[in-house]
Amino acid sequence: MGKVEIIATSTFGLEAVVAREVRQLGYENVAVENGKVTFTADKLAICRVNLWLRTAERIRLKIGEFKATTFDELFEKTQALPWAEWIPEDAQFPVEGKSVKSKLFSVPDCQAIVKKAVVESMKKSYRKMWFDETGPMFKIEVALHKDIATLTIDTTGAGLHKRGYRRLISGAPLKETMAAAMIQLSFWNPDRPLHDPFCGSGTIPIEAALIGRNIAPGMNREFASEEWPSIPKKLWQEARRETHDLADYDRPLAITGTDIDGDIIMVANENAEEAMVEDAVRFKRLPVGSFTSDAKYGCIICNPPYGERLGEKQEVEQLYKVMGRTFSALDTWSYYILTSYPEFEKFFGREADRNRKLYNGNLKTYYYQYYGPRPPRSE
Ligand SMILES: C[S@@+](CC[C@H](N)C(=O)[O-])C[C@H]1O[C@@H](n2cnc3c(N)ncnc32)[C@H](O)[C@@H]1O
């Protein structure tokens, strides 16, 4: 089977986590750049990475890359790429674009030129003059960076964070991809308890249950490239069968979530049901200060309120003090906290063992990590 070049796009700060996931799926020679992870594999990989990657934003197929400093160059080199190998004659193929530090900075012009070049290329391949664009979707992207144009087609459709289980959300929900990354950046493993004391709509506990049971996050959704004739249906069937074979639906897990808001707990329960992990997670209403546990070596993973709105500063400072007192009573536990609040550690009362800058949407946040003792091996 021929090789293809695949780009998994990532939120800034999570590239290494995405790369680790790609390697765990068995792909090598993974190149990591700002916001993306590139690797070469067979066509089956397009299906597998869409189904399995928990922290990537979307999966793009790279059609070509070249230097372009004039519109003529962009047109000629785009036209020379093998578009018809992927795009059938009835396909819809809109073009999106972006340009950073490049001579060709007008994105609408670049998009229009690429569209025209792809049409010209397809006219030659299909020997026809007009394309109705009524069939499957092939979203093309032209990304210019320092005069290098990268031409890709999106294989994913709705972003990979859309797992299909979260019909209902809280006021400030965490993206599923970010929740999965927070878990993967922690020392939690399925043998340890996990608790989210600010669980909101349940994203962190649900993502942990999916990880703990090895359930592929994309199992219950569809992808744009499932409709592509250029990817044989049997590859999608094979990849979907693998997700069923590898899922461990009966694995016992000790995952809990609490929140002060009783209504949001109902939402969390409904989302867990949609994700089919309702037997793996327990949610209940509880203010953070009342959380205690007899369990040992657990992990708290959470994103508390950040105090973004005016007048909330004192409230969150008080809340962080309560968190500091409550968590320090759990002497064998580790805790991991994501917040954009600049003085979090001061109010929490302890400097983190490690922190990491992460972007939650456009918001710069820090992921504060406090390591407890390692669990003994036998446990
Ligand atoms: C940023 S949201 C968390 C969102 C959640 N990760 C999700 O994906 O939906 C913060 C949550 O903290 C809860 N909260 C605020 N004060 C609290 C307190 N004192 N104890 C427990 N929960 C609290 C809010 O109700 C809200 O659901």
Token pair, residue 121, equals 């290329």
155 close to 224: Cβ distance less than 8 angstroms: yes
Which residues make beta-bridge pairs with 144? 99, 149
Among left, alpha and beta (phi > 0; psi -120 to 50; other), residue 188 is: beta
| Residue 269 neighbours by CB under 8 Å, 6+ apart | 202, 278, 283
* Closest CA relative to residue 261, chosen from 283, 224, 286, 292: 286
41 close to 167: Cβ distance less than 8 angstroms: no
pLDDT of residue 169: 67
Q: At what angle do helices 203-212 and 176-184 cross, to 10 degrees?
A: 60
Q: Please, what are the domains in the chain?
A: 4-154 (3.30.2130.30), 176-215+249-370 (3.40.50.150)
Give distance in angstroms: CA of 199 to centre of ligand 1. Answer: 6
Q: How many CB atoms lie within 10 A of CB 67?
A: 12
Give distance in angstroms: CA of 263 to centre of ligand 1. Answer: 12
> CA 204 to CA 257: how far, in whole Å?
8
Angstrom distances, CA of residue 289 to CA of 286, 327, 372: 8, 9, 20
| Residue 261 neighbours by CB under 8 Å, 6+ apart | 170, 200, 285
Q: How would you classify the pairing of strands 354-360 and 281-285?
A: unpaired
> CA 280 to CA 156: how far, in whole Å?
28
Residues lining ligand 1, judged by CB closer than 6 Å?
Answer: 170, 172-174, 197-198, 200-201, 203-204, 259-261, 264, 287-288, 303-305, 319
Token pair, residue 202, equals 């349940």
Residue nearest to ligand 1 atom 27, measured at CA: 200
281 close to 255: Cβ distance less than 8 angstroms: yes
* Closest CA relative to residue 181, chosen from 134, 217, 140: 217
| Residue 34 neighbours by CB under 8 Å, 6+ apart | 12, 15
If DSSP codes are grouped into helix, strand and coil, which group holds residue 68?
Answer: coil
Give distance in angstroms: CA of 22 to centre of ligand 1. Answer: 32
* Closest CA relative to residue 198, chosen from 277, 265, 144, 135: 265
pLDDT along the chain (379 residues), means of 10: 91 96 96 96 98 98 98 98 97 97 97 98 96 97 98 97 81 89 98 97 97 97 96 97 97 97 95 96 98 97 87 90 97 97 96 95 93 83
67 close to 107: Cβ distance less than 8 angstroms: no
Give distance in angstroms: CA of 266 to centre of ligand 1. Answer: 14
Residue nearest to ligand 1 atom 25, measured at CA: 261
pLDDT of residue 170: 63
pLDDT of residue 173: 80
Q: Could you identify the atom of ligand 1 that is nearest to the CA of residue 170?
A: 9
The 10 Å CB-count burial string (b at 16+, else e) for 284-300 is eebebeebeeeebbbbb
> CA 177 to CA 154: how far, in whole Å?
18
If DSSP codes are grouped into helix, strand and coil, which group holds residue 108?
Answer: helix
> CA 133 to CA 156: how far, in whole Å?
19
